[in-house]
């Protein structure tokens, strides 16, 4: 029989119960290595490896942030936890899926040039180490963050990188003066046809989103018909520090006010990560309430169906992309003439956040 997740269970899954953070490897020095097959990236400081796919099983080891795990089997035991019963068989035992991001390694053809207004791209490798460049210091690794699989980024130039190969210049939407570089093959330009609106013939006032905090479910509704439904992770129910916004997702009727296909969050600015790291390239973002509450993709956990954020509504990246295309205001990649067009800003689709 499956059961709900307690705080003790959460600590066991995340590997925090025995103080394993002291051994975490935030930024492994080498490049990733891989073999064909299902691959998972540890997306939390540490996760526990169990000798069986059960939360009460014995812990036999730990894996640390950004380690890549070969997944030999996906199992869904009746013991759950009910909201997310997925476990992965890995070398040495089993890990719960909560903090394992499924990733791929796809190297992309390189563009000869990039539009001056910018081109939207998606990372298609597990992670990439950005580098900064300045004339006095040359190439230096960015010590603040990596960028991760399925994150989205605006590229604004192609340059010769530190290895003599083509690298893309990424311009950060949070500060257009902040630019960094990654190997060009790590980023896939997103074709315009992947971003065409969904159901554009439906009148805007007949579309609405309903988010149930109790059930951790988001529904997209046209008229009286639910056309899409998925599990989400809303804000956690915990006290907020003095002067900070409440971490709970606000309840009420709202409207989408701004949509951005790529948004820099975290690092003490607009944070939505329980670990409070920099989160560049958060994909498919739709802001619905002042203070920074948004619906968006998440690459830092895989624990949908359980509150995980500091107020925002986390979705699987592919689900967030679908919702981004379905909602209003429409964001049109063909209309990008400069960086101000990286955002669509006006009142759009209604969002109802309910307790039940």
Interatomic CA distance for residues 319 and 327, integer angstroms: 12
Q: What is the DSSP string of 119-152?
A: EEEEE-SSEE--EEEETTTEEEE-SS--EETT-E
Is CATH 2.30.30 what the domain over 119-190 is classified as, yes or no?
A: yes
- May I ask the CATH class of domain 7-103? mainly beta
Per CATH, 119-190 and 195-354 having the same topology is answered no
Per-residue pLDDT band for 218 (boundaries 50, 70, 90) equals: very high
Helix (H, G, I), strand (E, B) or coil at 88: strand
pLDDT at 142: 92
Lowest mean pLDDT segment, chosen from 121-135, 268-282, 338-352:
268-282
Per-residue pLDDT band for 30 (boundaries 50, 70, 90) equals: very low
Where does residue 128 rank: exposed (0-12), middle (13-18), buried (19+ CB within 10 A)?
A: buried
Question: Which value, in Å, is the radius of gyration of the alpha carbons in the chain?
Answer: 20
Nearest to 13 by CA among 86, 108, 71, 72: 86
The CATH superfamily holding the domain 195-354 is: L,D-transpeptidase catalytic domain-like (2.40.440.10)
Q: What is the pTM of this model?
A: 0.89
Nearest to 118 by CA among 316, 301, 334, 308: 334
- Checking if the pLDDT of 2 tops 50, the result is no
Q: Taking the domains of the chain in order of start, what are their residue ranges? A: 7-103, 119-190, 195-354
- Checking if the pLDDT of 73 tops 80, the result is yes
- Checking if the pLDDT of 1 tops 60, the result is no
Length of the chain: 356
pLDDT at 245: 82
Q: How far is CA 77 from CA 74, 80, 82, 160, 282, in A?
A: 10, 6, 10, 50, 32
Interatomic CA distance for residues 273 and 271, integer angstroms: 6
Q: How far is CA 50 from CA 62, 226, 282, 302, in A?
A: 9, 39, 31, 18
Q: What is the DSSP string of 285-353?
A: EEEEETTTEEEEE-SS---TTS--BSSSEEE-HHHHHHHHHHSSS---GGG-SSGGGG-EES--SEEEE
pLDDT at 267: 57
List, for residues 122-157, the tens digit of each pLDDT value: 999 999 999 999 988 899 999 889 999 999 999 999
- Checking if the pLDDT of 24 tops 70, the result is no
What is the C-alpha end-to-end distance of the chain, expressed in Å? Answer: 24
List, for residues 94-111, the tens digit of each pLDDT value: 999 999 999 999 999 999
pLDDT at 12: 61
Nearest to 140 by CA among 181, 99, 172, 170: 181
The mean of the pLDDT values for the chain is: 89
pLDDT at 26: 34
Query: In sequence order, what are the residues at sequence separation of 6 or more whose Cβ sits closer than 8 angstroms to the Cβ of residue 90?
Result: 40, 49, 63, 69, 70, 71, 72
Per-residue pLDDT band for 356 (boundaries 50, 70, 90) equals: confident
Interatomic CA distance for residues 206 and 224, integer angstroms: 9
């Amino acid at each position: 029989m499956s059961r709900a997740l307690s705080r003790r269970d959460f600590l066991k899954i995340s590997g925090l119960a025995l103080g394993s953070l002291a051994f975490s490897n935030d930024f492994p020095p080498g490049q990733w290595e891989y073999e064909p097959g299902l691959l998972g990236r540890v997306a939390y400081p540490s996760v526990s490896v169990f000798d069986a796919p059960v939360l009460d099983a014995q812990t036999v080891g730990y894996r640390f942030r950004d380690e890549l795990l070969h997944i030999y089997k996906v199992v869904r035991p009746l013991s759950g936890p009910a909201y997310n019963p997925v476990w992965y068989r890995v070398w040495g035992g089993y890990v719960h899926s909560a903090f394992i991001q499924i990733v791929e390694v796809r190297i992309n053809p390189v563009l000869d040039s990039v539009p001056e207004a910018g081109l939207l791209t998606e990372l298609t490798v597990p992670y990439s180490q950005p580098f900064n460049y300045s004339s006095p210091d040359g190439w230096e690794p960015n010590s603040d963050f990596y960028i991760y699989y399925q994150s989205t980024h605006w590229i604004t130039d192609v340059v010769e990188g530190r290895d003599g190969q083509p690298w893309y210049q990424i311009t950060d939407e949070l500060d257009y003066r902040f630019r960094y570089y990654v190997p060009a093959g790590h980023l896939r330009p997103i074709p315009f046809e992947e971003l065409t609106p969904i159901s554009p013939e439906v009148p805007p006032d007949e579309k609405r989103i309903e988010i149930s905090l109790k059930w951790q479910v988001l529904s997209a509704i046209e008229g009286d018909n639910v056309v899409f439904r998925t599990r989400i992770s809303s804000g956690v129910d915990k006290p907020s520090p003095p002067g900070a916004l409440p971490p709970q997702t606000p309840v009420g009727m709202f409207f989408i006010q701004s949509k951005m296909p790529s948004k820099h969050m975290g690092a003490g600015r607009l944070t939505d990560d329980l670990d409070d790291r920099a989160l560049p390239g958060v994909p498919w973002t739709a802001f619905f309430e002042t203070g920074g509450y948004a619906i968006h993709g998440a690459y830092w956990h895989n624990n949908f169906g359980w509150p995980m954020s500091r107020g925002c509504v986390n979705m699987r990246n592919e689900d967030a992309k679908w919702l981004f295309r379905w909602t209003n205001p429409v964001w049109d990649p063909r209309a990008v003439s400069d960086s101000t067009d990286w955002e669509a800003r006006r009142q759009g689709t209604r969002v109802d956040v309910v307790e039940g």
